[in-house]
Amino acid sequence: MAWTRNDIDALLRRSDKAVERAMVTLYELQRADEQRTTSTRLHNTVGFSAFDARAGSRFARWVLGYNDKDQAVYEPKSLTEDGARRIFWRYCKNGEQVIDRARRIALKHSQQLTDAANGVDLQRKVG
Q: How far apart are CA 88 and CA 62, in angstroms?
A: 10
Q: Number of folded domains in the chain? A: 1
Domain-embedded: residue 125 = no
Average pLDDT over residues 69-86: 94
For a pLDDT cut of 90, what percent of the chain falls above it? 65
Is the pLDDT score of 111 beyond 90?
Answer: yes
Average pLDDT over residues 81-88: 94
Q: How far apart are CA 40 and CA 89, in angstroms?
A: 22
Give the three-state DSSP class for 87: helix
Domain-embedded: residue 30 = yes
- Give the tens place of pLDDT for each residue, 28-69: 888 665 555 555 555 556 788 888 989 999 999 999 999 988
Domain-embedded: residue 74 = yes
Domain-embedded: residue 127 = no
Q: Tell me the pTM.
A: 0.87
Category of 81 on φ-ψ map: left (φ > 0), alpha (ψ -120 to 50) or beta: beta
Domain of 54, in residue numbers:
5-120
Domain-embedded: residue 126 = no
